[in-house]
Homo-oligomer: A and B are copies of this chain.
């Protein structure tokens, strides 16, 4: 993929590329040779810079929107910039403290995620996203039946990962607590063997024989579990904040593309796939423009980082914004937030 070995890019060319990208990120307009010459204390004439630019353009690192405009970085240009030219601006000490403070105010885990994605979006002025990945092979840890008023029974499923599911069932007759306990015990036992469908079939057969509707209860529990498993396969979920920030950027002004992007957010699938990739990498990862592989994100870059709980990666978070984003600020932001989020979740569970 990387046709461009940075070896063939002279030191000076790299320096100029760096200046160009930085400036373009700041100002958002094509940078001309004259502008670039004036900018930093370079003692180079515009003409010389033009020569270098021509080289950079040949290498596919910059391009000119049209003949008489300056140059802007290409995706490859950004890539080289991010990989080897970038000087990161670490977060200030008290910014970190401010972040930590916000995190400490969130009570339950869900709240922590919402807080984190809001923080990401607010600080970056872009969209913040946090993925809660599929939990590894869901299992039922425990089933309980709670008798309610009337003929109603509450089925409670405790999954691994301490996730809980409820469903209310109306049965054909009232069951005593003892009966319910017995049913729960039976199921808990049976499900330890783990082959759901077998248990299910057995119940079905037995039900036909005995007409006992308590089996229906157990079936309901199994079906709930099954549904969770299927749901689990589909690959997690995410919390998104600040989508509307993206509407503020000139490079996203095309309302049709924007709509497609928002549709993708709602569909979730593509974004989840992308975040999933980032889960397997370690540390901050950056997808610039088309690199993501999703057409809707062509005009966007995504900065991600996995976050860990108890030393294990449990999810990915990131920011999504226009390709022209302040990578130098965002990378540490995403990095720190990932760590703080991990820490907060650790305390909180």
Interface residues of A, Cβ cutoff 8 Å to B: 108, 141-142, 144, 146, 148-149, 152, 154, 156, 158, 162, 164, 166-168, 243-244, 247-248, 253, 255-256, 258-259, 262-263, 266, 349
Q: Which of chain B's residues has its CB closest to A256's CB?
A: B247
B263 touches A259 (CB 8 A): no
Q: Specify which chain B residues have a CB less than 8 angstroms from the CB of A259 in the assembled complex.
A: 244, 247-248
Instruction: Look across to chain B and name the residue whose beta carbon is closest to the beta carbon of A177.
Output: B181
Q: Determine the main DSSP class of A at the interface with B.
A: mixed
Residues of B within 8 Å of A262, CB to CB, are: 243-244, 247
| Candidates B142, B148, B258, B349; contact of A158 at CB < 8 Å | B148
Chain B residues whose C-beta falls within 8 Å of the C-beta of A158 in the assembled complex: 146, 148, 154
Q: List 6 A-B contacts (CB under 8 A).
A: A142-B148, A156-B166, A162-B168, A244-B266, A247-B259, A248-B259
Contacts of A244 in B (CB 8 A): 259, 262-263, 266
Please give the distance in Å from A150's CB to the nearest CB on chain B: 11
Out of B144, B154, B167, B258, name the residue touching A108 (CB < 8 Å): B167
In Å, the complex CA distance between A255 and B142 comes to: 51
How many angstroms between the C-alpha atoms of A198 and B154 in the bound complex?
28
A154, B164: Cβ atoms closer than 8 Å: yes
Tell me, rounded to whole Å, the shortest Cβ–Cβ distance linking A231 to chain B: 12
CB-based contact A247/B255 at 8 Å:
yes
Known contacts A148-B142, A166-B166: does B258 contact A247 (CB below 8 Å)? Answer: yes
Q: How far is the CA of A196 from the CA of B142 in the complex (A)?
A: 30
Nearest CB in chain B to that of A166: its residue = B164
Q: How far is the CB of A117 from chain B (nearest CB, A)?
A: 12
Within the assembled complex, what's the spacing in Å between the Cα atoms of A94 and B263?
30
How far, in Å, is A244 (CB) from chain B's closest CB?
A: 5
Q: Nearest chain B CB to A119's CB is how many angstroms away? A: 16
**Which residues from B are CB-within-8-Å of A167?**
108
| A258: B residues at CB distance < 8 A | 247, 255
Query: Which chain B residue shows the least CB distance to A252?
Result: B255
Query: Closest 6 interchain pairs by CB?
Result: A247-B259, A164-B166, A244-B262, A144-B146, A244-B259, A244-B263
